[in-house]
Amino acid sequence: MTIQRPSLERMHELAGENHFAIRSDEEKSYVALFDRILELYDLLDDGLAAAEANAPQRDAGYRPSADENFCNAFVRKLSIKGVSHGPLAGRRIAIKDNISLAGVPMTCGSAVISFTPTDDATIVTRMLDAGAEIVGIVNMDNLAFSGAGDTSAYGPTRNPHDEARLAGGSSGGSAAALLSGEVDITIGGDQAGSIRIPASWCGVVGLKPTYGLVPYSGILGYDLTFDHTGPMARKARDVATTLAVIAGKDAEDPRQRDAALPNDVTPLTLEHLRGLRIGILTEGFCSAGHEADVDQTVRRAAENLATLGATVSEISFPGHLKAGPIVWGVFAEGVTATFQGNGHGYHWDGAYNPALADAFGSGIEQRGNNMPLQAKFNLMLGTYMRQTYHGKFYAYAQNLRRELRGGYDRLLESVDVLLMPTTPMKAHMHNPNQTPEELVLAGWNMVANTAPFNMTGHPALSVPCGMSEGLPVGMMLVGKKFDDQKLLAIADAYQRTFDNG
């Protein structure tokens, strides 16, 4: 195949976009250079075509009708079975709509991307090799830009406890599907709380693992420095078993390059919590919009942990309340760079997906008006900040992440675990009549406790700890890096004793 050559007019445009001009006596040279180098791209294109022709064929399943789609949690139902034995044998697993499953369309909850992967994400391969059956692709907020659960191109994901409310996002389908009776375990993604928010609002367990512990290769992300993916289930022990399967080194994922990953992620069991030091983070109860019943429910849960032998004390870190500017300073420009880099960005050593890059870039170019308001605003903001201030705020915010991480690390020298509400409020009511401003802000008003730990990389777990007004409340536990299984063991002890799982 022959790559299209740019016209002379387009070459002049390209020069202008890069802040220089082509002189008339240089035009023939540029034409010749483009033709010579693009002959090499012609060879690359031949290789791409051959790779796509060898993609595996699978039954892609179907889009369920409304009457068989519990809480609108499912985008697609299917059956892809792994081996007949292993730690996940017999377990039905659903994956978020941004995770590659070869031969099955992936849309990221949007009307922008039209893409069918040719390879499985690393974690999918690991789960199938451990005996799992993939039974569903689950709903998510449009391009993962909201924490509320109401922006998907397939419609909002409803809350299983009150369908007038939302499941949360962006992994809303991953949480709601767990209460359908059709799924045992799900996988979500988390860049600002997108596993833990819906886990809290739906009353399930959701883990944002330590940064780098679980490979992200084969999953559409936002920014290599804060992408996380992790398991969700009704019981902490199922999350722990799944984590042990999907965690570990993957040469294709640059997020793991410098991570000193533990050799053993075997699930822990704690019969008691004697000797465990839990710090109730005061500032975790101070978020804007926090509801008193949520705070009270989480504090009662902390008291319950004390009855299991833990030492519980109040602990303070004012820096927790100052994380917002760091989150936005990194998020706006980082995500914009990824989107403008066709869903991949540049300059990282790992496995790229050429077909996804093409599908993402062409989708944005041709159907950008279908992006959600949150994505449009973020792209405008990130572009404005980069062009006006040349990346200095992104750079400064990235540097501040080390200070934020160090602040939590110092707390975790005096206690083993931090405890706070996962979200400051219970599940939002679904309101389809919000103004654009209200819609955008309502998708981001629950991340004050979750987003800081995406910036620092600490493991953070939401475990259901009670009900208030008929709705679940989530308690978030945060630990030292790679103490993921310890958090899950604490949650398991809590669930076995108080039956809040």
Contact 493, 216 (CB under 8 A): no
Question: Catalytic one among 96, 235, 426, 481?
Answer: 96
CA distance 254 to 252: 7
Question: Catalytic one among 100, 110, 152, 194?
Answer: 194
Of residues 192, 199, 216, the one with CA closest to residue 157 = 199
Burial of 414 (0-12, 13-18, 19+ CB in 10 A): exposed
Contact 297, 304 (CB under 8 A): no
**3-class SS at 441?**
helix
**3-class SS at 179?**
helix
Contacting residues for 414 by C-beta, under 8 A, at least 6 apart: 277, 279, 315
Is 194 part of the annotated catalytic residue set? Answer: yes
**3-class SS at 330?**
helix
Cα 213 to Cα 188, 190, 262: the distances in Å are 15, 13, 9
Is 96 part of the annotated catalytic residue set? Answer: yes
CA distance 274 to 261: 27
- The bridge status of strand 92-96 relative to strand 185-190 is parallel
- Range list of H helices, 147-291: 172-176, 196-202, 236-246
Question: Catalytic one among 146, 170, 174, 180?
Answer: 170
* Residues linked to residue 468 through DSSP beta bridges, in sequence order: 471
Is 362 part of the annotated catalytic residue set? Answer: no
Catalogue the active-site residues. 96, 170, 194
